[in-house]
Amino acid sequence: MTDSLTEKSNSKTKNIDLMKTSEIVKVINNEDKKVAKAVEKALPEITKAVDIISQSFLNGGRLAYFGAGTSGRLGVLDASECWPTFSAPDGMITGFIAGGDYALKHSIEGAEDDKTEALKHIKEFKPTKKDVVVGISASGNPNYVLTALTEAKKKGAKTIGITSNPNAKLKDVADLTILTVVGEEAITGSSRMKSGTAQKMVLNMLSTASMVKIGKTYGNYMIDLQPVCDKLIDRANRIIAAICKIPVAKAETYRIKADNNVKVACVMYLKGCTKQQAKQKLKKHNGILRKVLRDEK
């Protein structure tokens, strides 16, 4: 019998196949309500993880997620969202999934036991002492994740594990473990549900808080966004307008003058300088807009 909490049967849903539709969705919703509380209990560990990751970024390090199935897909999702949201340079945050890119759209259940592929992906990432490797797994036991963490640790990288199983093996491998005890799933073993939701919440915090810590926001504005579509162009204009306290039309003019760079546009307007001068001021302060506006005359 498995010792993984994520594989145990939930007494509240043992008759789910006999329930009315309204009862099915209600019982699932009631189970989902437990997720935020479970994540809240892990905030001390999440805080430590953010400090580790943000310090790594400040030292020129990178972040890599490793996971299988839902866990792997969530890692790839979080990594891929960091470029449009924060202009994270290519390779700064990477997601690896057991089974490779094919597994993003197809189920490859045996891939989670593949140590060889974990070694291949670690070799591709080439972890160093500056880097952080995060293993994501509901049960915390797949060989793919354990191997990735073990090998990364050998290379001197900091290792973090995310799991919903108190008896996870990755706890013995990772330098830091983020444990979200969400309890038994509504459908026995379907860890894409509560465990997956918890993972998504944790990953949101790891990447977002780390980006905030290295100056990728001004207040709660994503000032390093990439205005590559109509929605993001409009958002960029509105952010410039809000920070500079100017009409959106004028903000758009400065965005265009700044070659779509929100921070450069803000510095140009608020400091009355040229695009090149704005870039120099930002470079002097490691790209942190708040420091430029506070310290530069």
pLDDT at 2 over 60: no
Q: Is 140 left (phi over 0), alpha (psi -120 to 50) or beta?
A: left
Q: Is the dihedral of CA 223, 224, 228, 229 positive or negative?
A: negative
Write out pLDDT tens, residues 241-263: 999 999 999 999 999 999 999 99
Of the options 3.40.50.300, 1.10.10.60, 1.10.8.1080, 2.60.40.10, the CATH number for the domain spanning 230-295: 1.10.8.1080
Of the residues 7, 23, 31, 81, which is catalytic? Answer: 81
- Any catalytic annotation for residue 23? no
pLDDT value at position 104? 86
Chain-wide mean pLDDT for the chain? 93
CB 177 within 8 A of CB 141: no
What average pLDDT does range 168-176 have in this prediction? 96
Give the pLDDT score at 182.
94
Query: In this predicted model, what pLDDT tens digit does every residue of 33-50 receive, in sequence order?
Result: 999 999 999 999 999 999
**Over 80: is that where the pLDDT of 109 sits?**
no
pLDDT at 239: 97
Residue 277 to residue 61: CA distance in whole angstroms: 28
> Where exactly are the structural domains of the chain?
5-213, 230-295
Whole-number pLDDT of residue 237: 97
| Residue of 23, 40, 45, 112 with catalytic role | 112
| pLDDT at 3 exceeding the cut of 80 | no
Structure-block tokens of residue 55 = 């310090």
Task: Specify whether the CB–CB gap between 26 and 186 falls below 8 A.
Answer: no
Q: Quick one: average pLDDT of 204-231?
A: 94
The mean pLDDT value for 178-190 works out to 90
| Structure-token pair, residue 222 | 């994503």
Lowest average pLDDT, out of 5-9, 73-77, 139-143, 187-191, goes to: 5-9
Q: What is the pTM of this model?
A: 0.90
Q: Is 124 considered catalytic here?
A: no
pLDDT for the residue 114: 84
pLDDT at 7 over 90: no
Residue 186 has pLDDT above 90, yes or no: no
pLDDT category at 113 given cuts 50, 70, 90 is confident
Classify domain 5-213 at the CATH class level. Answer: alpha beta
Evaluate if residue 68 carries a pLDDT over 50: yes
Identify the band that residue 97 occupies on the pLDDT scale cut at 50, 70 and 90: very high
Two structure tokens written together for 125:
């990432």
Q: Give pLDDT, residue 1.
A: 38
Query: Quick check: 96 and 64 in contact, CB under 8 A?
Result: yes
Report the amino acid identity of residue 122.
I
Highest mean pLDDT among 7-11, 54-58, 85-89, 223-227: 54-58
